[in-house]
Homo-oligomer: A and B are copies of this chain.
Amino acid sequence: MKIIGEKINGTRKRVAQAIAERDAEFIKDLARKQAEAGSTWLDVNAGTHPEKEPDDLIWLVETIQSVVDTPLSLDSANPKALRIAIQAVNKTPMINSISGEPERLAGILPIVAEHACPVIALALDDKKIPETGERRFEVITKIIKETRALGIPDSNLYFDPLAMTLSTNTQSGMIAFETMRCVRQEYPEAHLTIGLSNISFGLPARSFVNRYFLSLAIQSGLDSAILDPLDREIQAAILTTELILGRDNHCLGFIRASRKGLFEKPVQ
C-alpha cells in the first residue's frame, strides 16, 4: 500500500497561513513527520491563488526538499505551475491530477509523458462525475486511450474512482468498488488510488467510516491512497488489512507495529 501524504495542502487554513507567511519550519515539520510515517509521496498543493501558485509551489518544493528526499506529488490543475515546479524537484514527481476533461488532458498529459511521471487520473469528465461505476469506467477507458497514444505506460497511472460522500448517496462506496474492480480486471498494470476523506463528509464518526472504507477498498484492489499518514487509526487499518489479506510475511509488519505501540490507545 503506497501512501500519498495529504497534509501539505494550501486549501487547509493552517497551511495557507504558513505559505503566506513563508513559515518554513511549519512545512518542514509536516514533511518530516509524513516521511517518517512511511509516505511514498508527499502531496504538495499551493492553494487556490492562480497568480501566486507557481511561486508558492516552488517555495514549498524547495522547503520540503531541504529536509526529506521523499518524492513529491505536485497537486495542481495548472499546467504553467506544474511546468515550473517540475524543474525544481530532485526526484521524478507524481502529478495530481488529470481527468477525462479534454482541457485538462491537453494541458497536463504532455508534461506527464515528457517527464515519465506517475499521474493520478480522476474518473470524471466535462460532463461532471458519472453516477455509475460503469460510466466511470468508460471515462477511465477514454483516458487510457489518450495515455497509451502518448506512450505512457499503464503502470504510471493511478486511477481515482472518486469516493463521494455516503451521506447523500449510500451507494457511493459500492460505485467506487465497482469501478476499482473493473480497472483491476481490464487494466491490471494500472494502479488505483483514492482521496480518502470525501466518503464520510457530512457524517458523524467520520474516522470510523474512513478507516473501514479504506480496508474494504484495499480488498477491492486499492493499492495507494491520499490520506493523513499521521492518523494512527488509518495506519492500523492498513497494517491489519494487509495482514488479513495474507500480504504480511510471518505477520512481521503487524507485530512490529504492535511493539511500537500503534494499537494502544493514545494517552488522553
Contacts and interface: CB of A to CB of B under 8 A. Distances in A.
Interface in A6-61: none
A166 B244 contact: yes
B258 A204 contact: yes
A166 B203 contact: no
B170 A204 contact: no
Interface in A136-171: 166-167, 170-171
Contact of A209 (B199, B203, B243): B243
Specify how many copies of this chain sit in the oligomer.
2
Contacts of A219: 216, 219-220
A226 to B, nearest CB: 18
A237 interface: yes
A263 B210 CA distance: 13
Given A204-B255, A219-B219, A254-B203, A174 B246 contact: yes
Contacts of A241: 212, 216
Interface string A234-258: 0011001101111111110011001
Contacts of A243: 166, 170, 209
Contact of A215 (B216, B236, B247): B216
Nearest to A257: B205
A198 B118 CA distance: 41
Interface residues of A, number: 40
A246 B173 CA distance: 7
Interface string A174-210: 1000000000000000000000000100011100110
A244 B216 contact: yes
B240 A166 contact: no
The residue in A174, A220, A241, A244 that gathers the most chain B C-beta atoms within 10 A of its C-beta is A244
Given A170-B246, A171-B246, A244-B166, A237 B212 contact: yes
Contacts of A247: 170
Given A173-B245, A246-B171, A268-B268, A240 B212 contact: yes
Interface of A: 166-167, 170-174, 199, 203-205, 208-209, 212-213, 215-216, 219-220, 236-237, 240-241, 243-251, 254-255, 258-259, 262-263, 265, 268
7 contacts: A173-B244, A203-B251, A204-B254, A204-B255, A209-B254, A212-B241, A213-B244
